[in-house]
Structure 1
Amino acid sequence: MTIGDALKEVQVELGLTAEEMTAGVISKGTYSKVINNKTRLSSDLLLKILFSHGIDIEVFFNKTKDTYAPKNIIIEEKLSQEFGAAFNNHDLVSATDCLKKIQKQNNNPYLLQRAQIGVAFLSNTIEQLDKNLAQLIVNELNTHENWVSNLQALKLFSNSMLVLSDEKVEVLMKIFFIRLKRMNIKSETMIERYAIICSNYLHWKYDSLKQAKSQEKNKHKRNISKSIKYLTKLDKSPRFLIYKILGNYYKNIFTGDIDSAINIKYHLKELGFTSLTENWPI
């Protein structure tokens, strides 16, 4: 989809006329040429139109990604989405098939390592993964001066908790929160990715504590509390609602209020979110 196509689609979605859409920024004639792909619009004028109608810029440009993004990026993103769907549905066959496609691409080490970990998890073969994989993952994260601001690195870390040592995960989470405190992130995509990190950590931590010795169970409580705080303090927008609920769910679990945690999960199931809560621990 071109910029012009995306503008036309948004105009229809908002129920606006051409005159209302341009909002005095450009003439109706110029706008007609833009949406018919006969002329280009400067970035300044495009942003004025988008901002004047409160249009989500991230959503808008996602509409145009297939037209303007490099081919390899488009392929990798589609494979990432395909693998994510297979993993979330615990579909080992589809996940394995997607891993083979990713291996053929051989361009993105982050995506490949994520897929390898995911398939190993679904097939219960985590122990059989190459012992060097954990170090490779750490090395990948260390290649970025601030991996907390790198979307690919964050996705890799989110999945790699399954193969890294407990101590390494805790150290990386500590670094994660230190760097996050210094940043002023407003991108909803990054905020959601941080929420996923916190959610995955809490799930991982719960499983880890079940197997830990009694003297280990009081360690790293700060990472737990910070993860829960991050989730529960998220904005009340629909995009983040499930993460806020998940934060309260884990808050109840880690404070021993199991009945309240079960109640949260029960009500979500009653609302039709059975698949979403299927892998929640309690």
Structure 2
Amino acid sequence: MTIGDLLREYRVNQNKKQKEFAGKILSPSYYSKVEKGKHKITAEDLISLLIYNQISVKQFFCRLDENYEENQFLEEQLNCLLAQAYFQNDKNKLETIKQKINKSCLSNKAKNDQLLYADIFLALVNNTLQDNKKLQNKVKEKLFNMDEFDEAKIMLYGNSMRFYSPSNNEIISQSLIRKYRAINNIIIQKYLVSICINMLIILIENNDLKDTKLYIKVLEENIDNPDFLFYRSVYLFLINFIEYKNLGEEKYLSKCKKVIEAFENFEMNAYADELANFLKEHK
């Protein structure tokens, strides 16, 4: 019996509609897909749902699978380890985590999911994801469902935006902003800032500046954080470039060039060259 099957059984026995059963814990559309087995549900949301509907958590898990809660925790732990190894640029640690996944007690499906994430992180560290079309397609297939994003998947999406069409990027990024904008979590906010920066770049490249307001607003809400100094510098370049494109005034172009000079002064020449080329190509 699946989680969705068991939830449906309890809901029907309580003579409740899906909206009533889901309460404010899950949206009705998302809960409906949980029942059908099309969406996952986090352990936290599942337990909240059971408590909200006065269902014994212990009884539910016993009827479902006595190892479910343990496996859910293990998956979340592995996601965290993978993200940490990626941030540390540690290939050996990523390979070690892959071995740990293979030896774990997870189901075959869960193992395959975790191994895919490990392969993606390794490709990002090795800078080979751009040339691996097969892995790119797997990334798109896994990440396109916005409701299933967690911290690790937001980060993966931020590194994989080039594999999506501009319209799909708008759908995904705006959904993530709606879901996570108010969350007081500096890691999540850093991911959102990165995604908004990328979206402004994509919109400029496609000469589509009418839909920049949301991304600029999110950046303005977060950009003063000292931890986001790099993003603030890129933001200043982009916001002035957008003003130049809209108004055609040279003063905004001069400000863009000052940002490039700042990167050069800090000997961040790769970023300076990238912005200089961007300016040359799109002005």
Give the structure-2-normalised TM-score: 0.51
Q: 1:171 to 1:76 in 2, by over 3 A?
A: closer
CA distance in 1, matches of 2:116, 2:194: 17
Q: 1:236 to 1:165 in 2, by over 3 A?
A: closer
Query: Contact conserved, 1:151 with 1:190, CA < 8 A, in 2?
Result: yes
Q: 1:221 to 1:114 in 2, by over 3 A?
A: farther
Identity of aligned residues (%): 14
CA distance in 1, matches of 2:178, 2:262: 35
Query: Contact conserved, 1:113 with 1:156, CA < 8 A, in 2?
Result: no
Q: 1:177 to 1:137 in 2, by over 3 A?
A: closer
For residues 106-145 of structure 1, what are the alpha-carbon distances to aligned partners after superposition, in whole Å with 9 as ceiling and x for unaligned?
4536733642663685464144546454222224x44x3x
Q: Which residue of 1 aligns with 2:187?
A: 189
* Per-residue deviation, 1:264: 0.5
Q: 1:205 to 1:276 in 2, by over 3 A?
A: same
Question: Does residue 137 of structure 1 match 2:126?
Answer: no
Q: Which residue of 2 aligns with 1:167?
A: 167
Q: In structure 2, give the amino acid aligned to 1:174.
A: Q
* Per-residue deviation, 1:185: 2.5
CA distance in 2, matches of 1:80, 1:239: 19
Q: In structure 1, give the amino acid aligned to 2:124.
A: G
CA distance in 1, matches of 2:152, 2:130: 25
Q: How does 1:52-131 map to 2 (within 5 A)?
A: 77=80, 79-84=82-87, 86=89, 100-101=95-96, 103-106=98-101, 108=114, 111-112=117-118, 114-115=120-121, 118=124, 122=128, 124-127=130-133, 129=135, 131=137
Query: Contact conserved, 2:241 with 2:256, CA < 8 A, in 1?
Result: yes
From 258, 261, 264, the counterpart of 1:263? 258
Query: Contact conserved, 2:263 with 2:272, CA < 8 A, in 1?
Result: yes
Query: Contact conserved, 1:120 with 1:126, CA < 8 A, in 2?
Result: no
What's the Cα RMSD here?
3.7
Three-state SS of the structure 2 residue aligned to 1:118 is helix
Structure 2 segments unaligned to the other structure (5+ residues): 1-72, 102-110, 246-251
Q: 1:105 to 1:137 in 2, by over 3 A?
A: farther
For residues 226-245 of structure 1, what are the alpha-carbon distances to aligned partners after superposition, in whole Å with 9 as ceiling and x for unaligned?
22332234263421233222
Question: Does residue 251 of structure 1 match 2:239?
Answer: yes
CA distance in 1, matches of 2:139, 2:182: 32
Three-state SS of the structure 2 residue aligned to 1:221 is coil
* Per-residue deviation, 1:199: 2.2
Structure 1 segments unaligned to the other structure (5+ residues): 1-69, 87-93
CA distance in 2, matches of 1:279, 1:101: 34
Q: In structure 1, give the amino acid aligned to 2:143.
A: I
The size of the alignment, in residue pairs, is 187
CA distance in 1, matches of 2:214, 2:193: 11
CA distance in 2, matches of 1:98, 1:277: 32
